[in-house]
């Protein structure tokens, strides 16, 4: 297994380099001027010489190849560059916004896994029942409804009409001291909306996996020997169902970044998704490229973890 991991890590190096090169070139081709995006309304009438001087300070006058080499050199030293707008290290900006995103994504993923597995198991045990059909319809609806539309509905119903939950943010700004209850109230809507798109696939994968396991001979033999059906389902059925589901969950974690981007903008959540949006609007090239780089690393890491977890859960799998 160690040889397999080392081989995957070696292959990841040229892949990451290619992703960096493509993303760097594409970002450079974005419409708009990052220097003019940084100018205040009073500076918009600045002379061309002033704009040219600012571009030279940021290194934007250098050829794209030289800019890319300089950025790769920074990455090799553990630095993701400096923000054009704030003139601080990008790693510092990511560190400041990382905790809110991890909290939101973790809670959403936990909601989705628990609900998806519970509904999927019950749907498999009650195959072709009204609950099974209802879970299928609900799963398709959860997959089909976009995050931004579901978020707008949630804000309208629970925040505006009912007034039971806040419209956005991580805490009540007017409160002198933020309590745990206040933080949880702010977390419910964004985490619920983010989890909604994940629940559907988890329900379908759990149901399908459980149906396949229930048809296996060892399950029938265990029940025939007098082992309680609930124990057979929990110890053997659910364990084997986790193998494909774990792979799906691991591969979905990097994809959470896409959903987080939309949800954080919609609910004013101060995380990495909102940071990425602000960087795109402000043409902050180093931040955009750093986020693309981090996404690529996450995809590769969790792809590797998915393979390793599958091998651990099922010893028949050989890497």
Apex CA 264: angle with CA 259 and CA 265, to 5°? 105
Q: CB under 8 Å to 18, separation ≥6 — which residues?
A: none
* Dist CA 21 CA 50 (whole Å): 30
Query: Taking the complete model, does pTM exceed 0.75, yes or no?
Result: yes
Count of alpha carbons within 13 angstroms of residue 50, beta-carbon side: 8
For 286-314, write each residue's pLDDT tens digit. 888 888 888 888 888 887 887 777 777 66
**126 contacts 132 by C-beta, under 8 angstroms:** yes
* Dist CA 4 CA 9 (whole Å): 9
Apex CA 93: angle with CA 91 and CA 97, to 5°? 115
**Could you give all domains of the chain from N- to C-terminal order, each with its CATH number?**
99-313 (1.10.3720.10)
**109 contacts 249 by C-beta, under 8 angstroms:** yes
**276 contacts 259 by C-beta, under 8 angstroms:** no
* Dist CA 100 CA 106 (whole Å): 10
Q: What's the residue count for the chain? A: 319
**295 contacts 257 by C-beta, under 8 angstroms:** yes
For 161-195, write each residue's pLDDT tens digit. 888 888 888 877 655 456 777 778 888 899 998 88
19: tokens are 């992703």
pLDDT tens for the 319 residues of the chain, in order: 777 778 877 888 888 888 888 888 888 777 777 777 776 666 656 667 777 777 777 777 778 788 888 888 877 777 888 888 888 888 888 888 888 888 888 899 899 989 988 898 888 888 888 898 998 898 888 888 888 888 899 899 988 888 888 888 887 765 545 677 777 888 889 999 888 888 888 888 888 888 887 777 777 777 677 667 676 776 667 777 777 777 788 777 777 777 788 888 888 888 888 888 888 888 888 888 888 888 888 888 887 887 777 777 666 666 5
């Amino acid at each position: 297994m160690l040889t397999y991991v080392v081989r995957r890590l070696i292959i990841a190096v040229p892949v990451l380099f290619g992703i960096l090169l493509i993303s760097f070139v594409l970002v450079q081709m974005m419409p708009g001027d990052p220097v003019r995006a940084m100018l205040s309304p009073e500076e918009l009438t600045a002379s061309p010489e002033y704009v040219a001087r600012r571009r030279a300070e940021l290194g934007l006058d250098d050829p794209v190849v030289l800019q890319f080499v300089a950025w790769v050199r920074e990455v090799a030293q553990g630095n993701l560059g400096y923000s054009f707008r704030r003139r601080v290290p990008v790693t510092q900006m990511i560190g400041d916004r990382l905790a809110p995103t991890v909290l939101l994504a973790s809670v959403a993923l936990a909601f989705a896994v628990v609900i998806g597995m519970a509904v999927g198991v019950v749907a498999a045990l009650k195959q072709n029942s009204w609950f099974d059909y209802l879970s299928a319809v609900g799963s398709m609806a959860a997959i089909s409804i976009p995050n931004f539309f579901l978020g707008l509905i949630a804000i309208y119903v629970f925040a505006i009409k009912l007034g039971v939950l806040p419209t956005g943010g991580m805490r009540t700004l007017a409160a002198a001291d933020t309590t745990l209850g206040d933080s949880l109230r702010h977390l419910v809507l964004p985490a619920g909306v983010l989890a909604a798109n994940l629940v559907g696939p988890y329900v379908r994968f759990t149901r399908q996996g459980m149906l396949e396991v229930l048809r296996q001979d060892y399950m029938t033999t265990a029940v025939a020997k007098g082992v309680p059906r609930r124990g057979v389902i929990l110890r053997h059925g659910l364990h084997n169902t986790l193998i494909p589901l774990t792979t799906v969950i691991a591969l979905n974690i990097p994809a959470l970044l896409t959903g987080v981007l939309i949800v954080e903008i919609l609910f004013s959540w101060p995380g990495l998704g909102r940071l990425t949006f602000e960087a795109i609007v402000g043409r902050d090239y180093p931040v955009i490229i750093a986020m693309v780089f981090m996404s690529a690393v996450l995809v590769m890491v969790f792809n590797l973890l998915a393979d390793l977890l599958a091998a651990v859960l099922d010893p028949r799998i050989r890497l």
